[in-house]
Amino acid sequence: MIVVVLHEPQDLVNIAHVVRGMKNFGFRDLRLVNPGEFESYRVEGIAHQTQDILSRVQTYTTLEDAIADCVHVVGFTARGRTAKRNLQRPREAAAEVVAIDDGTVALLFGREDRGLSNEALDRCHRIVTIPSDSRYASLNLAHAVVIMLYELALTRGAEEIPFKAPRRPSEPTPTGELERLFVDVSRALQAIEFFKSRNADGVMRTMREIAHRTPLDLREVKLLRAMAIEVTKYGERLAGSRLHVDR
């Protein structure tokens, strides 16, 4: 089990954003150590539909009690540490955390204004720093939590979840239909004198390369053909009106 532990969070809005991030990525267990303020109904007013998480929130007066049952504690800080063997980046930490099958793992985050103390970091098995611009290295509390939860979700296989299929999947385009598109596009470009200063064969060859690279489905080809036909009609009307149009 993975739990998020916030050590002395001061801003209820930050807590709400953490809860929302947990809901987004499928994490349910939040522990608060001496929060500056916490009222679940106010948090739910910011992070809607999170009552399932808020009903499980545990509060503690000491960090020792909050992590007493944890077999692995990962602390987060923007500050470098001399104990290099314990330093990790989020992706490396996520792989190690997900591999722990037995026991509770704590993701420990410090208060907004000064982060985790050295004493708190001393209780961590691993210390994670999130790469950021050295001129403004300190991340918002909720942002840091969400970055780590995202990495954990990826490690668990979230990236393998397929995208939803289009509501109306279209058929693949037969070669004959694609050729008719090229004819219509060529006529449209001729109608607006696009080839007046360009090589028609070269332009149409590029059009073919674009269409073959995409590739276009049948619905898209029909839409493009309809557009090309309307452009042709417009060009013919313009030519018949004998109006001069700057190109």
Token pair in block for residue 217: 């489905």
Give the residue from 44, 57, 55, 52 showing the smallest Cα distance to 17.
44
What pLDDT does residue 106 have?
97
Does residue 142 carry a pLDDT above 60?
Answer: yes
What is the tens place of the pLDDT at every residue in 105-138?
A: 999 999 999 899 999 999 999 999 999 988 888 8
Strand locations in 87-183 (E) = 87-88, 104-109, 126-128
Q: Which of 11, 4, 2 is nearest to 111 (CA)?
A: 11
Least confident of 28-37, 140-149, 179-188, 213-222: 213-222
**Mean pLDDT score of the chain, rounded to an integer?**
90
Q: Which two tokens stand for residue 163?
A: 């995208």
- Supply the pLDDT for residue 246: 57
Percent of the chain with pLDDT over 70: 91
pLDDT in tens, 39-71: 999 999 999 999 999 999 999 999 999 999 999
Position 150 scores a pLDDT of: 96
> What percentage of the chain carries pLDDT values higher than 90?
75
Residue 23 in contact with residue 56, Cβ under 8 Å? no
Q: Model-level pTM?
A: 0.70
In whole angstroms, give the CA distance from residue 49 to residue 64: 31
Determine the pLDDT at residue 243: 58
On the question of pLDDT at 7 being above 80, the answer is: yes
Instruction: Tally the C-alpha atoms within 13 A of residue 237's C-alpha that lie toward its C-beta.
Output: 6
C-alpha to C-alpha distance for 118 and 145, rounded to whole angstroms: 20
Q: What is the pLDDT of residue 178?
A: 94
Residue 165 has pLDDT above 80, yes or no: no
Average pLDDT over residues 221-245: 85
Whole-number Å distance between alpha carbons of 168 and 217: 12
**Token pair 């939803």 is at which residue?**
164
Interatomic CA distance for residues 142 and 69, integer angstroms:
24
